[in-house]
Amino acid sequence: MNDARFADISDQDLLTQHVAGEPDAFGELVRRHRDRLWAVALRTLGDREEAADAVQDALVSAFRAAHTFRGQSAVTTWLHRITVNACLDRARKAASRKTAPVDDAERLDQLMEPHESAEAPAERQDLHRELLAALATLPAEQRAALVLVDMQAYPVAEAARILDVPTGTVKSRCARGRARLLPLLAHLRSTREGGKDVPMERNRTQGPSVPPASGPRDAGDGDPAGVKGGGGLA
């Protein structure tokens, strides 16, 4: 529920109030940004439990490190950077453990947004499943760049600030990721019912891009315990 006290207060002022001891200021920041942080984490990691843990870790880190924020970027950029770093750390640890892969069908079912699973046409579900499966084969850094730029529609410059890398690196990671996805995208376009191509957006950086997830850009992908409530961070 929105807190009327914070309706006209900027993110940066909320962070300042949090540092000064306002007990509810950080919770308001969580409320404002949790859905997009959750969507980025879920699509980067491909696992609900891992994504929930990554977001929780990121929010705890942000809660404790708020006093280090210097205003050189937007608060949302700062929060996304912490979240993406938490996701990449988990992805690298998972890769180094070389654990047995989970069942693809089960994992991809978990990735589907609730409204997509229940209401989307079968063709859309199939397309989304195949794209998510393809994304999961990319290196974590390429996957994070594509999620931000192609699925969350961040400008390349903003994605670069979130990932804390040069814009050229983001473009390069997106280009390499798209190149690996291109065979699948071409196959999907050629095999749509009736021979019609699947509409594909062209990103600002050019080249074939991943269709964005259906629904509003800020839509959440479920409500993992402890992520959307904003509690338990003290």
pLDDT tens sequence across 13-41: 999 999 999 999 999 999 999 999 999 99
CATH at 187: 1.20.140.160
Q: Could you identify the residue written with the tokens 């315990």?
A: 225
Residue whose pair of structure tokens reads 């961040």 in the numeric block: 154
User: Does 38 map to a domain?
Assistant: yes
Reported as a single tens digit per residue, the pLDDT across 136-192 is 788 889 999 999 998 888 999 999 999 999 999 999 999 998 888 877 667 666 665
166 phi and psi, to 5 degrees? -65, 155
Query: Measuring CA to CA, which residue among 63, 58, 72 is closest to residue 25?
Result: 63
Residue 216 is classified by DSSP as -
Cβ neighbors of 13 (< 8 A, separation 6 or more) are: none
Number of domains in the chain: 1
227 lies in some domain:
no
Contact 207, 180 (CB under 8 A): no
The pTM assigned to this predicted structure is 0.62
How far is residue 36's CA from residue 154's CA, in Å, rounded to a whole number? 11
**What are the distances in angstroms from CA 138 to CA 69, 104, 135, 207?**
32, 15, 6, 17
Please report, as a single letter, which amino acid is at residue 162. Answer: I
Q: In this structure, what DSSP letter does residue 202 have?
A: B
Rounded to 5 degrees, what angle do the CA atoms 43, 167, 218 make? Answer: 35
User: Is 36 among the domain residues?
Assistant: yes
Residue 222 domain flag: no
Q: Tell me the C-alpha distance between 15 and 75, whole Å.
A: 8
217 within a domain of the structure (yes/no) = no
For residue 208, list its beta bridge partners: 202
Tell me, yes or no, whether 230 lies in a domain. no
Its domain, for residue 170, covers 9-195
Gap between the Cα atoms of 59 and 86, Å rounded: 10
Q: How far is the C-alpha of 50 from the C-alpha of 54, rounded, in Å?
A: 6
pLDDT at 115: 39
pLDDT in tens, 180-231: 887 766 766 666 544 544 444 434 334 444 444 433 333 334 444 344 444 4
Mean pLDDT, rounded, of the chain = 74
What residue spans of 8-153 are helical by DSSP H? 11-20, 25-45, 48-65, 75-97, 104-111, 114-119, 122-135, 140-146
Region 126-143 average pLDDT: 78
**CA contacts within 13 A on the Cβ side of 209:** 21
205 lies in a domain? no
Residue 184 resides in a domain: yes
For residue 80, give the amino acid letter: H
Report CA torsion sign: 70, 72, 75, 79: negative
